[in-house]
Amino acid sequence: MKRFFNSILIIFSMYSHSGWSQEANLVTEDFKPSSVNQPEKQFPQVNSQGRVRASILAPNANKVQLDIGGVKYDMRKDANGIWTGESNPQDEGFHYYQLNIDGASVPDPGSLYFYGAGRWGSGIEIPAKDQEFYDLKNVSHGLVSENIYFSKLTNSFRRCFIYTPPGYNENPKTRYPVLYLQHGSFEDETGWSSQGKANLILDNLIASKEATPMIIVMDNGYAYKPQSKDSKEKKERPESVFEEVLITEVIPMIDTKFRTIANRENRAIAGLSMGANQTMRIMMNQLDTFSYYGGFSGTANYPSTEPIDTSSFLDGKYKEGAALNKKIKLFWLGLGTKEPVPFPKSVGAFKTMLDQQGIKYKYYESPETAHEWLTWRRCLYQFASQLFK
């Protein structure tokens, strides 16, 4: 009898597991055009499961795939030469993707294009449950403007994008604190206002009186010293001069062209991933320039998972944590709970060092997000609400 019941339980378990698997693979047909589609384009689409459906006319193609998150999904061709296919459910938030047509990876002509992963390509928004904080709302809006300048240090024209808060043009006597906000690797100065929705996040925070009105400067973190002909021929790696560009060229320019409160007490710096690494090193070298710091998915020791050498982080009169606490008004770190292994380990090692040195900091975890823009949008939302108070 016992063997009989065990057999029944095994069969029931197999049937239940099979049923669950089939149910998990069912595609819910409630797809809607993505919020970042090109005007009037019906594809790509997203459904309530977070699946992405792409479609493209390619009658002469032999194989077409949807490539999202590095995973490729085969698409199907109909009698009219239109290929259609769906992905598995994706995490909430913004994702880069592309189409692969007979081995060639190309942007989807239906989506808007974003600079990320080292290229201009397609992007998709999977609606997030908490997206209200970066939604486009009927509130007063600031302005994002393009600022082109010539850098003597790089011997090239560069640009940064400037967010000025609501009321900036209407109140010509008012001056504002400034946040210098940096992008991550293989991205550029367009990222924070495009994928990151930094302007909408600040508009909403300011409208609800949860943030101090501020200017945000978003520059390109790739800045190199001009190479000699010999260095180019030897294919030597160019020397980064981003810190010097920011400190000696960008900040003086911003303080001249915009109505800033030009002192360290009203100046903050933050960045994501590569930008977190850059801005933390700049902060520690320029404690007379900045008084607020935000590191999103990155620290000074990334990609190392070992504790940071305190002698390289704490220097001179600020080598003791207590002295640093008096200088920095806010030391803020943020991370997604689903970030790939190197990031939690490197941030964890960095936090250990801060604890050992008695350095005060605030730490935030974005629930159920990885190394992606929803993590960084949430980080900016949390961080900006605590600035200049």
The string of DSSP letters for 138-174 reads SS---EEEEEEEEETTTTEEEEEEEEE-TTTTT-TT-
Task: Output the pLDDT for position 234.
Answer: 72
Query: Does the pLDDT at position 230 exceed 80?
Result: no
Three-class DSSP category at 231: helix
Q: Which is higher by pLDDT, 3 or 314?
A: 314
Task: Output the pLDDT for position 20.
Answer: 35
Please state whether the peptide bond connecting residue 33 to the residue before it is cis, i.e. omega within 30 degrees of 0: no
| Residue range 113-124: mean pLDDT, rounded | 95
314 within 8 A of 328, measured Cβ to Cβ: no
Query: Does the pLDDT at position 200 exceed 80?
Result: yes
Q: What distance in Å separates the CA atoms of residue 279 and residue 192, rounded to the nearest whole number?
A: 15
Query: Does the pLDDT at position 317 exceed 80?
Result: no
CA dihedral 333, 338, 340, 343 (to 10 degrees): 10
Q: Which is higher by pLDDT, 352 or 234?
A: 352
| Residue range 81-100: mean pLDDT, rounded | 97
Query: Does the pLDDT at position 4 exceed 50?
Result: no
Task: Output the pLDDT for position 322.
Answer: 87
78 pLDDT band, cuts 50/70/90, is very high
End-to-end Cα, the chain, rounded Å = 73
Q: Which tokens is 307 given?
A: 């504790």
E strands in the chain: 32-33, 45-46, 52-57, 64-68, 71-74, 76-77, 82-86, 93-101, 104-106, 113-116, 119-126, 143-151, 156-164, 178-182, 215-219, 267-272, 292-296, 330-336, 362-366
Task: Output the pLDDT for position 13.
Answer: 39
Amino acid at 229: K
Of 303, 309, 294, the C-alpha closest to 344 is 303
Please state whether the peptide bond connecting residue 303 to the residue before it is cis, i.e. omega within 30 degrees of 0: yes
Task: Output the pLDDT for position 23.
Answer: 45
Task: Output the pLDDT for position 237.
Answer: 86
Task: Output the pLDDT for position 289.
Answer: 97
Amino acid at 314: L
Query: Does the pLDDT at position 3 exceed 60?
Result: no
Task: Output the pLDDT for position 318.
Answer: 67
Q: What distance in Å separates the CA atoms of residue 241 and residue 153, rounded to the nearest whole number?
A: 7
Domains and CATH numbers, the chain: 32-127 (2.60.40.10), 132-384 (3.40.50.1820)
198 within 8 A of 133, measured Cβ to Cβ: no
Query: Does the pLDDT at position 136 exceed 80?
Result: yes
Q: What b-and-e string marks burial along 164-180, b requiring 16 or more CB atoms within 10 Å of the CB? A: bbbebeeeeeeebbbbb
Q: Which tokens is 314 given?
A: 């704490």
DSSP conformation class of 132: G
188 within 8 A of 243, measured Cβ to Cβ: no
159 within 8 A of 152, measured Cβ to Cβ: no
